[in-house]
Amino acid sequence: MNFQKNINALKTMLRRELNRTFRIWRQTLIPPLITTTLYFFIFGHLLGSRLGAVSSFSYLQFLVPGIVMMSILNNAFGATSAPVFILKFQRNFEQMLVSPMSNHIILMGFILSGVMRALLISILVMGVALLFTFLPLSHITLLITSGILAAITFSLVGTVNGLLAESFDDISWVPTFLLTPLTYLGGVFYPLTALPVFWQKVSLFNPIFYLIDIFRYGFLGLHAINPIITLSLLGSLIIVLYGCAYYLIKYSPRLRP
């Protein structure tokens, strides 16, 4: 399959996923906006006025980057995990595998669809945040880069989860028992220095902490970890996850009769 045909196949996959996102917009767009509005109102506005400032920024300003990153992670994961599993469950994945499309194009289609949905939701969430507070942009290039890399990472996590899942319960296991706890313990609602020393060290083993930290640095210029270290870890994680997803697409017997 030549280059132009691969590009057309990739565009078709992206068009299908975007159409699905907007076709069921009540499920894909509205719930994240309602949830984040409640976060901003309850934690940022009501409680934030009592908690005071964090490093010269209001608590609401400190909270916004974590909430936006949380929406990126959740939506990137959700945009790939369920669709991949449904394609596998309905035996449609086999048709993609026997088509002239390369496995890399199939994987890139899933990744980019997750990235587009995650970034779309994040823009809407930031629009909601602007109704509550002003958002400074200290390092806009790093902000955009870290947001895209985070979306790629969790699009890959969702893809791997969808490829490995054997039932719909397996799809819900990761966000319920892994993604949500790690997100809440990743510094969304508090600075690292607010924790005892022992738990500060434990937080360093939480990958989501690094994503939130570098994203907050892009907004506010505050960071607990050197951004270069975070970008290096992100790049390494993406390479590992991409390799796992590609291996499963190419060799997994679960995708073949």
What average pLDDT does this structure show over 129-147? 89
Q: Is the pLDDT of residue 1 over 80?
A: no
* Alpha-carbon gap, residue 223 to 143, rounded angstroms: 12
Summarised one tens digit per residue, pLDDT across range 153-174 is: 999 999 999 999 888 888 888 8
Instruction: Give CA–CA dist 87/81, Å, rounded.
Output: 10
Burial code of 93-112, b = ≥16 C-beta within 10 A, e = fewer?
beebeeeebebebbbbbbbb
* Residue 180 pLDDT grade (very low, low, confident, very high; cuts 50, 70, 90): confident
Q: What confidence score (pLDDT) does residue 21 get?
A: 81
pLDDT at 99 over 70: yes
Q: Is the pLDDT of residue 108 over 70?
A: yes
For residues 4-20, average pLDDT: 83
Cα-only R_g, the chain: 19
Q: What is the pLDDT of residues 210-226, one digit of tens each?
A: 999 999 999 998 888 89
In the chain, the percentage of residues whose pLDDT exceeds 70 is: 95
